[in-house]
Every structure is written in structure tokens, then in C-alpha cells.
Amino acid sequence: LTIIPFFPFFFPIPAQIFLIIWFLTQVSSGISSGLAGSLSQNIAWWAHIFGFLGGVFLHKIFLKRNYTNRRSIF
């Protein structure tokens, strides 16, 4: 759970919901920054977006690998 401060209250939400909200704010900020024409600030938003998506897809790939076949070096 994640605790979100909302003045004057704090309330918990599931981390998955928070990640969706965070992702949507990144996308909306990237789009609005792109429409405003500020290319130098626009790159940071899209780097966060594609870094997040890359992590999601790589996580799934890494979970599919079978690490039980590896020998321990110790």
C-alpha cells in the first residue's frame, strides 16, 4: 500500500493503482509539454515513460527464465 497525502487527510491506496496514476500523469505531462513546444523538457517525461514500460516488459522476460539450472559458485 502507498499512502497518499491529501491535505488534511492521508489515505492508503494499492501500489498498482498508484503506479497507474503516476504513469498517466507522466504521459499527460509529456503530451502537454510536447504540445507547448519545449523539446528539452519533453525528453525527461518520455524517458520516464519508456523506462517504466521497459522495466515492465523486462520483468516479465526475467520471470520466464529458469534460474534453478544455474550452479552456485559458492
Whether the predicted pLDDT of 69 surpasses 60: no
Q: Which amino acid is at 23?
A: F
Q: What is the pLDDT of residue 31?
A: 85
Tell me how far apart the alpha carbons of residues 22 and 49 are, in angstroms, rounded to a whole number.
Answer: 10
CB atoms < 10 A from the CB of 35, how many? 9
The model's pLDDT over 8-62, given as tens digits with 9 standing for 90+, comes to 667 788 888 888 988 998 888 888 877 777 666 677 888 888 999 999 888 878 8
